[in-house]
Amino acid sequence: MKTSADLVILGGAVYTAEAAAPFAEAVAVRGEHLICVGARKEASAWIGGKTEVVDASGGLVIPAFRDAHIHPLHGSLLWVECPLAEENSVDGYLEKIAAYSAADAKKPAIRGNGWRQGLFPPQGPHRALLDPIVPDRPVYLTSLDGHSAWVNSAALRLAGLDRRSPDPSGGRIERDQSSGEPTGTLREWPAMSLVSGRLPPHPRRDLMGAMEVFMEMAARAGIVAVHDAAAGDEELETYAELSRTGALTLEVGASLLCRPEAGPEQIEDLVSRRRRYASSQLKPFAAKIFLDGVIESRTAFLSAPYADQPEHRGTPTWEEDAFHATVSALARHGFSVHIHAVGDEAIRLAIAAFQRTETGNLSAAGRHQIAHLDLLRIPDMDRLRRLNIIANMQPAWFYADESFSEAMLPALGRNRSRRLYRLHTLLNHDVRFCLSSDWPYSGGLSTFSPLEAIQVGLTRKSLSCRESRAFIPGEKVELRRLIDGFTIHGAFAAFREQETGSLKTGKWADLVVLDRNLFTIPPEEVGQARILRTLARGRTLYRG
């Protein structure tokens, strides 16, 4: 006698993300696995006396989402810190900072996030704006793109930074032109960490509480797996503790952050940390290299000078020889290498490093990635395809937000700006890809909702669709490919495509039930779809 299913979902459309059979009528689940993905009659045959039957009439069942590049702990901590992203002026920032500081005079440091580069001069915000508001405690505020920090004089004193302090490798301390003293803007993580590394650690209760809230919100968004794009010990210890106690509801992959000053000598430590933190739910299988910065702060490495700084095209954050040696050593030790590369010249350097590694027969199974690829040239798309490098892109960025007009357009000029975020062209060149949010560094749309990101990828407009024209409309991408980017391709990037990422009999029951069929509604409404249910390995994480 056939054992019945625990759950059968009928009545809606099913998108499987399986190329051979992309659509079905129903699914059946028993335990952790899918036992039927097919016709309504086939799934109904698994219904028994204790089977839960769900009528998804008018809705859609799809694989559960995977975010292949996100900063879950760092992003969720910002919910308890000073939020600036919703303000639209420098005065608004200062009022918010003053109110936040006054609300807790005993807080040892003021942290926050979300200021926009374009609201300040090219050299960035000045400590003199912060000192009258918070004179006695360090203030550390990261920009919306996450690649610059605005600090006060107390923070500079805490870090021992003055006019004699050299720029760290891969970073820059903005300085007053006359005195040489730091202005209070720090560019890129090597410089930012000079202050952030001296701040008091986050209390354990804040770390655990932030992740608990994040996991709940991720389940509401249909997400069952994430990849922390730059995990340090604080993140790894938090994930590991949640995993040990059985409270980690997400599968977490992680990229261990590589430091430019350490070069290939750091590999032994990375291997040790990979071994120490690995568990069934936590997989630190990758290593992260920041090769350049971002266009907004003029730290992305370009092939030609910035339009508004004709003597400057950015610089890589690594010395080229050390970069190549580190990539090869990481691949040789079994790491999937993830490289942040935004500017076209940084992308070229990243591909060249992988090409050398491939020549040495080190990366055949590495599933290496380049993240962002904002300004990608056509010849480099062909090189990505030949080397089988995964392009990890963020569709929530694919519209002209405030930062575009304030910072990116002046930096690139109009012609180069028309080369941004060319996912459609990339796919036409048959490049492997996966999609992600990079939250909380998500530009004007700070979201980790895959549905909202998919809408932007479909429309090339903001969620409100208030723009009269789409941003580079020829780069719109079809719905199936955007869903695949957040599901089966994300699973491939995490070495999980055999177990999950699509709806196929025998795979894990990782799925999402939506209240409407995304394939039959206008693209402008996709972000409004509601998640009715999120399953991870057959377990309901969220029920709407």
How many CB atoms lie under 10 A from the CB of residue 89?
A: 10
How many CB atoms lie under 10 A from the CB of residue 533?
A: 22
The bridge status of strand 110-115 relative to strand 82-83 is: parallel
Single-letter amino acid code for the residue at 142: T
Q: Is the pTM of this model over 0.85?
A: yes
Q: Taking a C-beta distance cutoff of 8 angstroms, is the pair 10, 27 a contact?
A: no
Q: Both tokens of residue 534?
A: 């999120």
Q: Taking a C-beta distance cutoff of 8 angstroms, is the pair 172, 194 a contact?
A: no
| pLDDT number for residue 362 | 46
Burial class (CB in 10 A: 0-12, 13-18, 19+), 93: buried
- Rounded Cα–Cα distance for residues 165 and 522 (Å): 55
- Rounded Cα–Cα distance for residues 58 and 533 (Å): 15
Q: From first to last of its 544 residues, what are the pLDDT tens digits of the chain?
A: 578 999 999 988 999 999 999 999 999 999 999 999 999 999 999 999 999 999 998 899 999 999 999 999 988 988 888 988 888 899 999 999 999 999 988 889 999 988 988 899 989 999 999 999 999 999 999 998 888 999 999 999 999 999 999 999 888 999 998 899 999 999 988 899 999 999 998 889 889 999 999 999 999 999 999 999 999 999 999 999 999 999 999 999 999 999 998 889 999 999 999 999 999 999 999 999 999 999 998 999 999 999 999 999 999 999 999 999 999 999 999 999 999 999 999 999 999 999 987 655 444 468 999 999 999 999 999 999 999 999 999 999 999 987 788 889 999 999 999 999 999 999 999 999 999 999 998 666 678 999 999 999 999 999 988 898 999 999 999 999 999 999 999 999 999 999 999 999 999 999 999 999 999 999 999 999 999 999 999 999 999 8
Single-letter amino acid code for the residue at 355: Q
The bridge status of strand 148-151 relative to strand 182-187 is: antiparallel
Q: Taking a C-beta distance cutoff of 8 angstroms, is the pair 62, 512 a contact?
A: yes
Q: Taking a C-beta distance cutoff of 8 angstroms, is the pair 375, 404 a contact?
A: no
How many CB atoms lie under 10 A from the CB of residue 396?
A: 29
- Rounded Cα–Cα distance for residues 28 and 30 (Å): 7
Q: In what order do the strands lie in the sheet with 182-187?
A: 82-83, 110-115, 139-143, 148-151, 182-187, 172-175
- Cis, peptide link before residue 440, omega less than 30° from 0: yes
Nearest residue to 494 via CA among 75, 69, 76, 74? 69
Instruction: Determine if residue 184 is left, alpha or beta; phi over 0 gives left, psi from -120 to 50 gives alpha, anything else beta.
Output: left
Those residues with Cβ within 8 angstroms of residue 88's Cβ, 6 or more apart along the chain or in another chain: 119, 402
Q: In what order do the strands lie in the sheet with 390-393?
A: 65-70, 223-231, 251-257, 282-290, 336-341, 369-372, 390-393, 433-435
- Rounded Cα–Cα distance for residues 156 and 343 (Å): 30
Domains of the chain: 7-64+506-543 (2.30.40.10), 76-196 (3.10.310.70)
**HEC states along 99-152?**
HHHHHCCCCCCEEEEEECHHHCCCCCCCHHHCCCCCCCCCEEEEECCCCEEEEC
- Rounded Cα–Cα distance for residues 199 and 158 (Å): 8
| pLDDT number for residue 447 | 86
User: What are the strands, taking DSSP E only, across 157-238?
Assistant: 172-175, 182-187, 223-231
- Rounded Cα–Cα distance for residues 425 and 371 (Å): 16
For residue 502, the 8-state DSSP code is S
Q: Taking a C-beta distance cutoff of 8 angstroms, is the pair 407, 295 a contact?
A: yes
Those residues with Cβ within 8 angstroms of residue 440's Cβ, 6 or more apart along the chain or in another chain: 71, 74, 75, 78, 113, 146, 446
